[in-house]
């Protein structure tokens, strides 16, 4: 019995030692990864500062990221998530947002589900666009602002594509507005941008961050575009 007890004790001690070794190795790996991240972040900040000085950009360093062109050149651009936040905050606020309020507006107002969400003042117009002769399904918007299929009928290719988006793993936000809000690459300032005035035939302007996209749809104030042109353009973007 004593021998068996000794064996159990030895095995237990060995197991404890192995666990301790594993924990030490694990934390050492984590610490090294954190150090590498800090090093990469510091190098990136230094590169951003250098490129800012070279190009004359004056915006806050934190809004920029380094991208590599096809010819190997490094350039600065405003981060996609910053562009997205600005566009979303401007859509909700309906005026130029400040950088300081972006996260608050996003956290309080960003739709929680994937699919196609419609800005509240644009819902009738969007329904008019989607319920047209090019589709067989009947579309509606639920109480939470999401586009839904009311009647599937005999789905054509466009209906199937919309159905896939509605039930997919990406989020699309649609707003009928020729005004969107952008970050000026040079100064880092936030501006309102009336893209319809710049090009009256531009059907939309969009901003994307990973699996989220905001699409600002031309108001078509002078009826220069047909509803069919606008609708087909949106579906093609999807």
Same domain, residue pair 24 and 136: no
The residue among 78, 113, 134 that closes a domain is 78
Query: What burial letters (b/e) apply to 20-53, b meaning 16+ CB within 10 Å?
Result: eeeeeeeeeeeeeeeeeeeeeeeeeeeebeeebe
Same domain, residue pair 57 and 170: no
Same domain, residue pair 68 and 167: no
pLDDT, position 101: 93
Same domain, residue pair 110 and 166: yes
pLDDT, position 36: 45
Q: Per the structure, how many domains does the chain have?
A: 2
Question: What's phi and psi for 65, nearest 5 deg?
Answer: -135, 155
Q: How far apart are CA 48 and CA 66, in angstroms?
A: 7
Same domain, residue pair 68 and 87: no
pLDDT, position 90: 94
Which distant-in-sequence residues (6+ apart) come within 8 Å of 201 by Cβ?
Answer: 224, 225
Same domain, residue pair 33 and 117: no
Burial-class residue 140 by CB neighbours within 10 Å (0-12, 13-18, 19+): middle
Same domain, residue pair 159 and 133: yes
Its domain, for residue 60, covers 2-78
Cβ neighbours, 10 Å, residue 169: 8
pLDDT, position 134: 84
Q: How far apart are CA 28 and CA 36, in angstroms?
A: 12
The residue among 29, 63, 78 that closes a domain is 78
Same domain, residue pair 69 and 98: no
DSSP notation for 157-183:
HHHHHHHHHHTSS-EEEEEE-SEEEEE
Report pLDDT digits (tens) over 193-204: 898 888 888 889
Same domain, residue pair 6 and 42: yes
The residue among 50, 78, 106 that closes a domain is 78
Same domain, residue pair 172 and 116: yes
Report pLDDT digits (tens) over 38-49: 444 444 556 778
Same domain, residue pair 139 and 171: yes
DSSP label at 85? Answer: H
Which distant-in-sequence residues (6+ apart) come within 8 Å of 128 by Cβ?
Answer: 227
> Hey, which bits of the chain come out as E strands?
64-68, 74-78, 115-118, 138-141, 147-151, 171-176, 179-183, 190-194, 204-209, 212-217
Q: What is the pTM of this model?
A: 0.74
Residues of the chain with pLDDT under 50: 2, 35-43
| Sign of the CA dihedral with 20 first, then 22, 25, and 28 last | negative
Same domain, residue pair 116 and 191: yes
């Amino acid at each position: 019995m004593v021998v068996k007890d000794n064996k159990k004790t030895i095995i237990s001690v060995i197991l404890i030692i192995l666990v301790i070794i594993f924990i030490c190795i694990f934390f050492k790996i984590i610490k090294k990864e954190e150090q590498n991240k800090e090093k990469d972040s510091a190098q990136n900040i230094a590169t951003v500062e250098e490129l800012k000085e070279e190009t004359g950009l004056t915006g806050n360093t934190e809004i920029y990221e380094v991208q590599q062109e096809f010819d190997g050149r490094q350039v600065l651009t405003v981060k996609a998530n910053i562009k997205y936040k600005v566009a979303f905050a401007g859509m909700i606020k309906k005026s130029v947002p400040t950088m300081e309020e972006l996260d608050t507006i996003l956290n309080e107002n960003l739709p929680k589900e994937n699919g196609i969400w419609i800005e509240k003042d644009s819902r009738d117009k969007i329904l008019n666009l989607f319920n047209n002769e090019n589709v067989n399904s009947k579309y509606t918007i639920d109480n939470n602002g999401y586009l839904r299929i009311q009647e599937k009928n005999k789905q054509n290719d466009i209906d199937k594509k919309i159905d896939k988006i509605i039930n997919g793993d990406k989020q699309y936000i649609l707003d009928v507005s020729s005004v969107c809000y952008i970050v000026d690459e040079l100064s880092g300032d936030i501006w309102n941008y009336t893209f319809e005035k710049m090009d009256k035939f531009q059907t939309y302007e969009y901003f994307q961050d990973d699996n989220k996209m905001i699409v600002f749809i031309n108001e078509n104030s002078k009826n220069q575009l047909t509803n069919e042109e606008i609708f087909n353009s949106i579906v093609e973007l999807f």
